[in-house]
């Protein structure tokens, strides 16, 4: 894939996207229903681990519908008070895996909550959280079309709610600073970090990387790899329902939700990304409601900045607070 838009134009891409009139009411009702369930946060220390510089907790909290969601929580051993806390969400198809796969942020001195992804964790990293809204156990992808075209039964209604509830759970954990909760993630995780920033008023910062679910309709037309192909196949098969389904996805499009966010954000995109087209990332960035900065990796595909970006994120986080 070459440039999907002229290089001089892509950074200014700001589409006029359809915004449902009841967008706010839909999400307020959804989150109010979730808040009606006790959060039920538990954090059990993990003793059987070779890790010596961090304390690992196996966390559970009640997500959408009061259903249990698992997470890892890693805290630096030298933590002696509350610290800026990173809440991380996972890319499409992956689960929380094992604690030693998540050492960067605790090594950098930050408590780090890693939310498992309901129903996912069978494509590339194992997961432990069933999606009890459907068939249950973690399975291979198909999530992008799960529930179409009904917004109330759509998979991402459940997952966005889990992401918001993870912020509430993090605020109750030891050593977490509830005034300095920062969301992050890559691809689907980047979308969830934006969703939490847009839907939870106490998120203090967001660091979305090559975010998924941004300008969904255009991205589905452009992407040549990854999960947008699932949406294309669904629309190709359900010809008469495609228009309604795509209109419904506006409730879950982060370029549509981005103006609701007000916290500072560090975005990143990769300009040769064939999975999450960079125009989608710029659409969300340019419509984002808070103070913001973009890092664009000109020669990279969906891997984005990887270790180079982590260094940029740590420096940005230190300046933020």
| pLDDT score for 204 | 98
Q: Which of 106, 187, 219, 279 is catalytic?
A: 187
Residue 22 catalytic?
Answer: no
Q: What is the pLDDT of residues 267-278, one digit of tens each?
A: 999 999 999 999
pLDDT band (50, 70, 90) for residue 3: low
Catalytic residue among 112, 146, 273, 279: 273
Q: What is the C-alpha separation between 136 and 128, in angstroms, rounded?
A: 11
* Measured distance CA(27)–CA(257) in Å, rounded: 10
Q: Does 302 participate in catalysis according to the annotation?
A: yes
For residues 278 and 269, is the Cβ–Cβ distance under 8 A?
yes
| Active-site annotation holder among 70, 110, 200, 302 | 302
- pLDDT at residue 135 above 60? no
Average pLDDT over residues 31-56: 96
Residue 226 backbone zone (phi > 0: left; psi -120 to 50: alpha; other: beta): left
* C-alpha–C-alpha distance, residues 48 and 56, integer Å: 10
Q: What integer is the mean pLDDT of 294-312?
A: 97
pTM value is 0.95
Mean pLDDT of 283-304: 97
Is it the case that residue 320 has pLDDT exceeding 80?
yes
Residues sharing a CB contact under 8 Å with residue 215, sequence separation 6 or more, in sequence order:
15, 17, 253, 255, 277, 279, 280, 283, 284
Residues for the chain: how many in total? 321
Residues 28 and 245: their CA atoms lie apart, in Å, by 21
**pLDDT, tens digit, 9 for 90 and up, residues 157-205:** 999 999 999 999 999 999 999 999 999 999 999 999 999 999 999 999 9
CATH topology of domain 17-320: Rossmann fold (3.40.50)
Distance CA 38, CA 77 (A): 30
User: Which of 131, 157, 117, 142 has the alpha carbon at shortest distance from 249?
Assistant: 157
Place of tokens 């998979």: 155
Q: In whole angstroms, give the CA distance from residue 85 to residue 202.
A: 12
| Phi, psi (deg, nearest 5) at residue 209 | -115, 130
Q: Is 187 a catalytic residue?
A: yes
For 203, other C-beta atoms within 10 Å of its C-beta total: 26
Per-residue exposure over 142-180, b if at least 16 CB sit within 10 Å of its own CB, e if not: ebbbbbbbebeebbbbbbbbbbbbbbbbbbebebbbeeb
d(CA 23, CA 291): 23
Task: Locate the domains of the chain by residue range.
Answer: 17-320
Identify each DSSP E strand in the chain by its residue range: 42-45, 54-62, 68-76, 83-89, 112-115, 176-186, 205-209, 265-270, 292-297
For the chain, what is the radius of gyration of the CA atoms? 18
Cβ atoms 268, 309 nearer than 8 A: yes
Is the Cβ–Cβ distance between 291 and 232 less than 8 Å?
no
DSSP state of 131: B
Give residues with Cβ within 8 angstroms of 104, minimum separation 6: 112, 310
CB burial of residue 21 (10 Å; 0-12, 13-18, 19+): exposed
pLDDT tier at 7, thresholds 50, 70, 90: confident
The enclosing H or E element of 294 equals strand 292-297
């Amino acid at each position: 894939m070459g440039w999907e838009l002229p290089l001089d134009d892509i950074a200014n891409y700001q589409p006029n996207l359809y915004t449902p009139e009841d967008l706010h009411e839909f999400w307020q009702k959804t989150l109010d229903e979730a808040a009606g369930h006790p959060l039920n946060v538990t954090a059990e220390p993990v003793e059987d681990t070779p890790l010596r510089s961090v304390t690992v907790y196996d966390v559970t909290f009640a997500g959408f519908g009061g259903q249990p969601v698992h997470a890892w929580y890693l805290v630096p051993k030298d933590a002696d008070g509350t610290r800026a806390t990173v809440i991380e969400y996972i890319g499409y198809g992956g689960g929380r895996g094992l604690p030693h796969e998540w050492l960067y942020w605790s090594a950098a001195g930050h408590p780090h909550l890693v939310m498992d992804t309901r129903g996912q964790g069978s494509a590339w990293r194992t997961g432990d959280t069933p999606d009890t809204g459907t068939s249950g156990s973690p399975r291979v992808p198909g999530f992008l079309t799960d529930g179409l075209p009904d917004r109330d039964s759509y998979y991402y209604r459940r997952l966005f709610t889990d992401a918001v509830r993870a912020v509430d759970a993090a605020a109750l954990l030891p050593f977490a600073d509830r005034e300095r909760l920062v969301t992050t993630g890559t691809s689907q995780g980047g979308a969830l970090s934006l969703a939490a920033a847009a839907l939870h008023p106490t998120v203090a910062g967001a660091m979305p990387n090559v975010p998924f679910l941004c300008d969904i309709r255009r991205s589905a037309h452009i992407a040549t790899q990854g999960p947008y192909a699932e949406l294309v196949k669904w629309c190709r098969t359900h010809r008469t329902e495609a228009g309604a389904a795509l209109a419904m996805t506006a409730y879950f499009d982060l370029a549509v939700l981005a103006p609701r966010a007000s916290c500072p954000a560090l975005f990143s995109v990769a300009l040769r990304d064939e999975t999450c087209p960079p125009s989608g990332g710029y659409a969300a960035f340019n419509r984002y409601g808070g103070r913001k900065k973009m890092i664009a990796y000109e020669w990279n595909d969906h891997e984005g900045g990887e270790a180079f970006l982590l260094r940029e994120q740590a420096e940005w986080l230190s300046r933020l607070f």
